[in-house]
Amino acid sequence: MHSRLRILALLMVVAFCKPTGAIAQAKCTAASPECVAVGEWDLSVALGAGVRTNPVQGRSDIPLIVIPQVSYYGRRFFLDSLEPGFTLYEGNANTLNLVAAPGYDRVFFSRNDLQNVFVNGPLGGANFGADTDTEVPIEYRGHRRRTTYLVGPEWLFSYDRFTGQLSALREVTGRHDGYEIRGAVSAALIQTENSLVANAGFTWKSAQTVRYYYGVQELYRPDAALNPFVKVAYSRPLSERWTLNAFVHYEHLSNEITDSPIVSNHSVVTAFVGFNFKVL
Amino acid sequence: MFGVLLATSAHGAVDNERQHPIELRLRPRVCTLSEDDAACNTTVRAQWHSTKNESLCLVIVDQPNIRRCWEQHSEGVYSVEVAFSQDLVVQLRDTELDRVLASQAIAVIRKALQFRRKRRQPWSIFY
């Protein structure tokens, strides 16, 4: 697994050092799904129906009803929902950011996770039971999975109609000191008034990360895990403020995760259809 | 702070007028257009003052329908709704409209929006 990491890191460095090797996408000159105005806040709320399946045994699926989104892109600093960041370099084809991102796995364990609050509103919508691990079978109960944040570099690149991103993150909130590498490639299949974008990628989680969420003390001690995923997203603007949005996201869980006695599914499926209202 | 422009000989004013300049002040001083705005639609308030009585007219360049004249006044105020997409030039002229006694402009500033590429976060539920 370490050799894979080295290859990924090498790819990141080589590609970033050769920005002319990539075919730059058109420069952003107007607001679009791909481009945002510098220095302006963007606040929107998606209302609709959707679900995210929960692979953790005894946990209910997570309904998606309200999805608030807030973003701000300055010249360097940006906030993209729950992910703040700082742009170190921005060219037509390559961008290098320093980002902070939450650990996603906690959403399966806690109703009060920030990401679930964002989805369901402060009153919650998922029938999770308590906000601790009480629904995990009692013989497997362990530590509470706390909110974690990971920090690291993120490389964004574009090549023709493809865009990609690769980030190498380390947990910095003192919970497990694990690592994650997130990579994805996106292709705009339709980019007219309708937008259809296909994504494929992976998340690699270090052993520390996997053990923090899916390990069971003295019973199951998993190693690192690699989860591939695909996602298709569609959007169509209906008016100046309203946009129809839909997406389906399928993530296949590594055996290191599904072999855990607290996990009962091999995948996580997230699907949502709704209307996005632009507040700001 | 309102902009102040003094009538000068550059506008054909005579020496006498240079010694007794007419003060013209406009509000607003500038109009900022966002990307979606085609023109400024605003109330322009023009206020002038002189050290002696004057007979003059206030006109706006390229807006021939707007004119306000005073006979033997030392000051005056005029407010008018104006739509304009380029710098708006307001002038005080003599009653024959031959000579410019004072001139001031409201600058139109087009907000230069810059754009940058937005991140995709395919891992998250936020599109």
Asked if the C-beta of A59 comes within 8 angstroms of chain B's C-beta atoms, the answer is no
Question: A25 touching B, CB under 8 A?
Answer: yes
Residue A195, in any domain of the structure: yes
Range of the domain at A67: 41-278
pLDDT reported for residue B8:
39
Q: Which of A80, A115, A166, A278 to mutate to test the interface with B (most CBs of B within 10 A)?
A: A80
Q: Which residues contact B44 (CB under 8 A, 6 or more apart)?
A: B26, B27, B28, B60, B79, B80, B81, B82, B88, B90, B106
Each residue of A40-96: pLDDT tens digit?
899 999 999 999 999 999 889 999 888 888 999 999 999 998 999 999 999 888 999
> Which pTM was predicted?
0.66
- pLDDT of B113-124, one tens digit each? 788 888 877 776
A10 domain residue, yes or no: no
**Regarding beta strands B30-33 and B100-110, do their DSSP bridges make them parallel or antiparallel, or are they unpaired?**
parallel
- A201: in domain: yes
**Cα dihedral sign for A55, A59, A62, A63?**
positive
**What are the two backbone dihedrals, phi and then psi, of residue A169, each rounded to the nearest 5 degrees?**
-120, 145
Give me the CATH number covering residue A268.
Answer: 2.40.160.40
Q: Read off the tokens for A81.
A: 């929902």
Q: Chain A within 8 Å of B126 (Cβ-Cβ)? A: yes
> Does residue A36 fall inside a structural domain?
no
Question: What's the structural domain count of chain A?
Answer: 1
- Report if residue A20 sits inside a domain: no
The H-or-E segment that residue A84 falls in is strand A83-90
Specify if A145 maps to a domain.
Answer: yes
Give pLDDT tens digits for B56-96. Answer: 999 999 998 899 999 999 999 999 999 999 999 999 999 99
Q: Do A158 and B124 touch (CB under 8 A)?
A: no
Give the domains, in start order, of chain B with CATH numbers.
3-109 (2.60.40)
Burial bucket for residue A191 (CB in 10 Å: 0-12, 13-18, 19+)? middle
- Please check whether residue A12 lies inside any domain of the structure: no
**pLDDT at B35 (0 to 100):** 67
A47 touches chain B (CB under 8 A): no
Can you list the alpha helix ranges (DSSP code H) found in chain A? 2-17, 114-120, 207-214, 255-258
Q: Could you tell me how many helices (H) and strands (E) chain B has, helices first?
A: 1, 8
Kindly list the distances between the CA atom of residue B68 and the CA atoms of A199, B23, B57, in Å, as whole numbers in the listed order: 65, 16, 5
Q: Model confidence at A1, in pLDDT bands (50, 70, 90)?
A: very low
* Contact criterion met (CB below 8 Å) for A171 and A103: yes
